[in-house]
Amino acid sequence: MSTNSADILNTPGYFYAISYIFSCLVILMTNRRRFRIWKANILHGGIFAFLLGFMILTDGVRTWLFVPSMCMIIGLILADLYFGCDFTFLQACYYCLKAFINGEFAASLCWQIYYHFSRRIAVDNPQLWKWMEILGVYIVVYGFFYLLEKKLHADTEELHITGRELLVVAVISVSVFCVSNLSFLDRNGLFSGRMAADIFIIRTLVDLSGLAVLYAYHFQMKEMQMRFEKDTLHNIMDMQYRNYQLSQESIDLVNQKYHDLKHQIAILRAETDAEKNLGYLERMEREIKIYETQNKTGNKVLDAVLMTKSVYCQKKNIELKIMVDGALLDFMEDMDVSALFGNMLDNAIESAEKQKEGKRMVGLYVSGEKQFLRIRIQNYCEEKIRFKNGMPLTTKKDKRYHGYGMKSMLKTVEKYGGSAMASQTDNWFELKILIPLKIER
C-alpha cells in the first residue's frame, strides 16, 4: 500500500478523537461517577459525538487556529471528566491533563504503527485493516492504562490535588505536547525532524516519556498522601489515648477528694444538732452521690472518656444519653477503646454544637447482640450529609486535612474484623458498628 508522505504526516482527527474518548473512559471507569450510569453514558456519548465532529472539521489545522482548537478539545475532555466523575475542579483538571497526554501517546503510537506497515504490506481492504489496527492498538494500550489506574486506586480512595501539584502537572503536560508536536508545526526548526519516520518516533517517544513522568509523579503524590494519612491516624489515636490518660488522672484525683468529702460530711453530721445544718449536709451528700453513679460502664478507659465528654456536654448544654455495657469491650486494647469512642463522641458533639438550643442531643449505646458487639451513636443534625461507600463525607472546605477521625474509627473497627455503616433519617445522624465477639468455649 503506497501512501503520500505529505498526507501520512497529517494524523487524521478521528484517530485522536477516538483516543481521547478511550482515555476519558478509563478515568470514568476507575473513579466514582457523579451521576447514575445511564446519565453518565448519555453525557459521555454526547461529548464524544461533538469531539469527533469538531476534530474532523478542524483536521489538519496548522495556522493560528491550532491553539484555540486544542483549547476547545481540552475543554471538552475536562467537561467530560468533571461532570462524569465525582471530582473537585482541581481533580478534574489533573485527570484531564493525564487523559490528554494518554490520548496523545495512544494516537501517535497507533498512527506510527499504521504508517510503518502501510508501506510494507499490501491488503485488499485498506479501510478494514485500518480500523482493525485502531481498535487493536487502543484496546491493548488502554487495557494497560486501565490496570495501571486500578493499581493506583488500590490503597487510596482518592488523590487530593492542590494548586501547586496541578501547576507541576500542567507544566509537564504542556512541555510534552509542545516538544512532541514541534516537528509537525515547523519541519525546519532547530529541534525538528526531517523525515516522516523520525517525526513519528520523536512524537511517540516524547509522549511516552511524558507519561512516565506523569505516572511517576502520581505514584510519588500517592506515597506522600499515604504516609501523611498513616502519620495523622497514628497521631489521632495517640492524642485520644493521652486525653484518656489525663482524664484518668483527673478522675483519680476527684475520686480521692470525693471520698475525703464523704468522711468530712459524716464527721460534721455527728458534730451538729442543728436541723438546718443537717438538711444542708443531706442535700450535699445527695449531690455528690450523683457523681458516684455516673459513667460506671464496666470499662475504666471508656469511663474516663465519657466523664470528659459529659463535662464538656454540660458546658455546651448538650443532652448526652448513655446506655453502655463496657464489660463487652474487655477484648479491645485500651488505645483502641479511647480512639474509637473518643472520635465517635467528638464528631457527634461537634455536630450537636451546631444545632439550636433544645436540639443538641447525642446518644451512645453499646450492647451485645448474639455473637456481636453492637455500638450505635446518634446525634440530631439538620445539615444534610453526603455519603460515600456508607460513610459521611467531611463538610469542611479543605478536605485534605479533615475526615481522619472517621478513618481512624474505621481502621480500629477493621482491626477487630468489624464493619461500620452511617445513615441520616429525619435529621438524625446514626453510626452503627458491628464487631464479632470472641466467644470462649
Residue 6 pLDDT > 50, yes or no?
no
Which of 175, 209, 231 terminates a domain? The answer is 231
Is 226 in the same domain as 299? no
Residue 252 lies in a domain: no
Tell me what pLDDT residue 3 has: 44
Rounded average pLDDT over 110-115? 83
d(CA 193, CA 187): 6
Confidence of residue 223 (pLDDT cuts 50, 70, 90): confident
Is 301 in the same domain as 226? no
Question: What are 143-166's pLDDT values in tens digits?
Answer: 999 999 888 877 666 677 888 889
Is 206 in the same domain as 346? no
Which of 176, 209, 231 terminates a domain? The answer is 231
Burial class (CB in 10 A: 0-12, 13-18, 19+), 4: exposed
Rounded average pLDDT over 180-194? 58
Tell me what pLDDT residue 190 has: 47
Residue 285 lies in a domain: no
Residue 326 lies in a domain: yes
Rounded average pLDDT over 17-28? 92
The percentage of residues in the chain with a pLDDT greater than 90, rounded to a whole number, is 20
Is 222 in the same domain as 307? no
Report the range out of 81-90, 229-238, 278-287 with the highest average pLDDT: 81-90
Comparing 65-69, 237-241, 426-430, which segment has the lowest mean pLDDT? 237-241
Is 202 in the same domain as 310? no
Tell me what pLDDT residue 268 has: 62
Is 196 in the same domain as 108? yes
Tell me what pLDDT residue 293 has: 45
Is 400 in the same domain as 303? yes
Comparing 207-216, 286-295, 325-334, which segment has the lowest mean pLDDT? 286-295
Residue 290 lies in a domain: no
Confidence of residue 14 (pLDDT cuts 50, 70, 90): confident
d(CA 165, CA 52): 31
Confidence of residue 96 (pLDDT cuts 50, 70, 90): very high
The percentage of residues in the chain with a pLDDT greater than 70, rounded to a whole number, is 74
Show the cell assigned to 89.
475542579
Rounded average pLDDT over 119-141? 80
Higher pLDDT, 353 or 399: 353
CA distances 365 to 161, 250, 377, Å, are: 38, 25, 6
Is 66 in the same domain as 140? yes
Comparing 90-94, 156-160, 172-176, which segment has the lowest mean pLDDT? 156-160
Confidence of residue 441 (pLDDT cuts 50, 70, 90): very low
Is 177 in the same domain as 41? yes
End-to-end CA distance of the chain: 79
Q: Average pLDDT, whole number, for the chain?
A: 79
Plot region of 345 (φ>0 → left; ψ -120 to 50 → alpha; else → beta):
alpha
321 lies in which domain range? 295-441
Confidence of residue 167 (pLDDT cuts 50, 70, 90): very high
Residue 48 pLDDT > 60, yes or no?
yes
User: Which of 162, 161, 165, 147 shows the shortest CA–CA distance to 30?
Assistant: 147
Rounded average pLDDT over 377-399? 75
The domain that contains 434 carries what CATH number? 3.30.565.10
Is 304 in the same domain as 222? no
Report the range out of 31-35, 93-97, 225-229 with the highest average pLDDT: 93-97
Residue 42 lies in a domain: yes
Tell me what pLDDT residue 315 has: 82
Residue 149 lies in a domain: yes
Rounded average pLDDT over 232-255? 65
Is 92 in the same domain as 197? yes
Residue 419 lies in a domain: yes
Tell me what pLDDT residue 132 has: 86
Comparing 152-166, 181-195, 211-225, 339-353, which segment has the lowest mean pLDDT? 181-195
Residue 240 pLDDT > 60, yes or no?
yes
Rounded average pLDDT over 341-367? 89
Structural domains counted in the chain: 2
Is 30 in the same domain as 152? yes
Residue 287 pLDDT > 80, yes or no?
no
Residue 392 lies in a domain: yes
Which of 231, 256, 275 terminates a domain? The answer is 231
Confidence of residue 404 (pLDDT cuts 50, 70, 90): confident
Q: Which residue has the cell 503520500?
A: 4
